[in-house]
Structure 1
Amino acid sequence: MTIPLRPDETERLAALAAYNVLDTPRESDFEDIVKLASEICGTPIAVVNLIGDGRQFFKAEIGLGVRETPLETSFCGHALLNEEFMLVPDATLDHRFDCNPLVTGEPGLRFYAGALLKTAAGLPLGTLCVLDFKPRDLASHQRTALRTLANQVMTQLELRRLNTRLAERVAEVVAERDRSEMLGREIDHRVMNSLQFVSALLAMQAKTASDSEAARQLGLAASRVNTVARVHRHFYVEEAVETTCALAYAHRLLSDLAEVISPCSVTTAGQATPIPTTLIMPLGLITNELVTNAAKHGARSVEVRISASGEGVRIEVEDDGPGLPVDFDPAARKGLGMRIVQSLVDQHAGVLTFSSGRVGGAQLAATLTTVG
């Protein structure tokens, strides 16, 4: 028997498709509802039935043992034409179903009651229905319970759709993050290559310069650019996050720097405390300058100690070299290195201190804080 279609059938099917629930596996939330409906109504069959295009899909069922049947034999297809609730006490006495093979043959259905599953826009997706093999009726409280459980089915469908949307959005955010990180790594890689290229050009120019002072200045410029490249490289070993471990970063940087200052040896000490990443670049530049200066002035060993908090970091560099001049003043030094250190400390509202080392050399300490 052909079941009449609703005037808004196209919109109804589109609404059903939006839930992406057809042909999905059984889920306990829906299975529990049909068990409860069967228990309350005292029927051997209860179904969460979704009416698709030419078929009906059972999201949950008890008493049938199948997940799908043709729409031609559907009771629920007729229920879609009702406002809220359809009751068939005896299918053999109803002209819509008296020739239905499910009534005239196996399994011999007689009773049907179905509450519509409706969207917020009023479009019916299917029913929560109960069936029996004998004529009967439902009491008022059973009808109310069936309607209430139908509302719970819709709540579960909405939650399921929201969870799906959330999962899709999370996947989009993760994919966008991955793309951004990939782009960031590519940019970092190109910055590194550019810095190394500039350093190499300056070094080549220094070798061919006829004026000794010009050659010296070009060599110094090449060294500074290489320093920035080194600091940059070790910073981006880790993922870009709001905080990073200052000690781990310093250890990586100084392991690389050991080749530059050889035969002077360098060690690190401190606690693995995270600091804001805004302090990592100045930390690296200051550490690089103080350690290379110590090695340049005759130190055979250098110890770098890092103490950090969430708001700042303190770098102490102690060496066993000849020590600092009596009138040492970093602000008055002509060398570019100490001027860079003092400038970075000032930019980060910090303090630069100096004293004699414990083993007769020098100890310089720079404290940096987050600004703003």
Structure 2
Amino acid sequence: MSAYAASIIPENEPQRMAAVKRYDILDTPADGSFDRITALAARRFDVPISIISIVDHDRIWFKSHHGVPVEQIDREPGLCASAILSPEPHILTDASTDPSSLANPLVAGDFGLRFYAGVPLQTSDGYNLGTLCIIDKEARPIDQQKIDDLTDLASIVMDQMELRLSARQAVSRAEIMAREIDHRVMNSLQFIASLLTMQSREPELTDAAASQLQLAANRVAAVARVHRNFYTDAADEVSCITFLRRLCADLAGILGKSISVDGDDGNVPTTRIQPIGLMVNELVTNAAKHGTGNIDVTFRIKDDVHELSVCDDGEGLPAGFEPDQSVKGLGMRVVTILAKQLDGRMTTGSNPAGRGSCFKVAFPA
């Protein structure tokens, strides 16, 4: 590091850089609210160039740049790097006569900078992130009123950054709260499933009543499983194949079966994940009941249609089986209802890999 570079590093540089990262603004896309501020500054002060800069550890990045096409420069020759050393505005009315600026490449080089006025963008806890600056290639005076106006514009820049930081923090807190609620819902579902299982073992119950209670316990547990695997992701869309692999890994351990998951990698809205998970749970549980070997779960994307299939190696379906007419069990009725919720339809057939049957649900993407 040169002597010049060392001279423009603030004493609190590690803490200042932590503040820069806290605002998460580096390399973000152009923003109209910031661009309007630099355009307004250029007009207000009748200068060709106005910049909102953020001083990174090795560069000066421009959040908004009016009148100059570059998006960043090295930190070492940057006047903004010098401007953040003090909470006061950094003013050069004629850089060609300022001894401390004569060696600066922006002044001595082809760019020919002569006038610079920069106000630090200071956080509420006292760290200078960068500057709002105005630049001209002609020397010019600036009075205190205009410096005050530039300072007010810099405060507006920080107000915008604080609003964005507050919004991100609010979203983060909401996500944490939602995850905590989801965790408690999942635990409650598992608790209810355990209570139903315990109730099904009461000696005074008939076998039929005990069986129905256990079925109810299994279905509540299925909802809990889908809930757990679904809420691992917090987004508007999630990878369906990733979700199915997590869910089927759970089911394989519970059912003691080998379950393979294959298919296309594509996202589906989170509003569709829960019915997809419940369908797979019912179909895989049914396949485990009627088959002895591997269960194959496949998710395919064909044009604008998603196709979900669960295949087993059991005895196959009886002749003439039609899900809409032949379904009697609650599990198949649940799958049929869930398929209709997705504007889809369940079809059945033989396992193309050989012995057994396949259940397919196709629904629009």
Normalised-by-shorter TM-score class: 0.5 to 0.7
Within the alignment, does 1:319 sit opposite 2:312 as a pair? Answer: yes
Q: Deviations over 1:221-254 (max 9, x none)?
A: 0000000000100001112x11100000000000
Describe the shift of the 1:162–1:303 C-alpha distance in structure 2 as closer, same or farther (beyond 3 A).
Answer: same
Contact 2:323 2:347 in 1 (8 A): no
Within the alignment, does 1:235 sit opposite 2:230 as a pair? Answer: yes
Q: Residues 212-223 of structure 1: matches in 2 within 5 Å?
A: 212-223=207-218
Contact 2:227 2:274 in 1 (8 A): yes
Equivalents in 1 of 2:280, 2:331: separation in Å? 11
In structure 1, the gaps of 5 or more residues are 1-24, 30-55, 67-127, 129-141
Give the aligned CA root-mean-square deviation in angstroms: 3.2
SS at match of 1:307: strand
When normalised by structure 2's length, the TM-score is: 0.60
Contact 1:355 1:364 in 2 (8 A): yes
Residue 355 (structure 2) aligned to one of 347, 357, 360: 360
Describe the shift of the 1:293–1:28 C-alpha distance in structure 2 as closer, same or farther (beyond 3 A).
Answer: closer
SS at match of 2:141: helix
Q: Give the aligned partner of residue 195 of structure 1.
A: 189
Contact 1:275 1:308 in 2 (8 A): no
Q: Deviations over 1:5-64 (max 9, x none)?
A: xxxxxxxxxxxxxxxxxxxx9x999xxxxxxxxxxxxxxxxxxxxxxxxxx955324678
Describe the shift of the 1:58–1:171 C-alpha distance in structure 2 as closer, same or farther (beyond 3 A).
Answer: closer
Equivalents in 2 of 1:269, 1:204: separation in Å? 36
Describe the shift of the 1:276–1:362 C-alpha distance in structure 2 as closer, same or farther (beyond 3 A).
Answer: same
Within the alignment, does 1:292 sit opposite 2:276 as a pair? Answer: no
Equivalents in 2 of 1:215, 1:28: separation in Å? 69
Equivalents in 1 of 2:308, 2:335: separation in Å? 12
Residue 186 (structure 1) aligned to one of 180, 183, 194: 180
Shift of 1:187: 0.5
SS at match of 2:199: helix
Equivalents in 2 of 1:57, 1:256: separation in Å? 61
Shift of 1:255: 0.5
Q: What amino acid sits opposite 2:273 in the alignment?
A: I
SS at match of 2:201: helix
Q: Residues 273-288 of structure 1: matches in 2 within 5 Å?
A: 273-288=266-281
Aligned length: 242
Contact 1:246 1:308 in 2 (8 A): no
SS at match of 1:201: helix
Q: Deviations over 1:346-365 (max 9, x none)?
A: 12210111111121211111
Q: Deviations over 1:187-229 (max 9, x none)?
A: 0011011100100010000000521111010000000000000
Equivalents in 2 of 1:276, 1:58: separation in Å? 50
Q: Give the aligned partner of residue 333 of structure 1.
A: 327
Describe the shift of the 1:258–1:302 C-alpha distance in structure 2 as closer, same or farther (beyond 3 A).
Answer: same
Shift of 1:65: 8.5
Q: What amino acid sits opposite 2:221 in the alignment?
A: N
Equivalents in 2 of 1:28, 1:352: separation in Å? 55
Describe the shift of the 1:230–1:57 C-alpha distance in structure 2 as closer, same or farther (beyond 3 A).
Answer: closer
Q: Deviations over 1:78-127 (max 9, x none)?
A: xxxxxxxxxxxxxxxxxxxxxxxxxxxxxxxxxxxxxxxxxxxxxxxxxx
Larger Rg computed on CA atoms: 1
SS at match of 2:346: strand
When normalised by structure 1's length, the TM-score is: 0.59
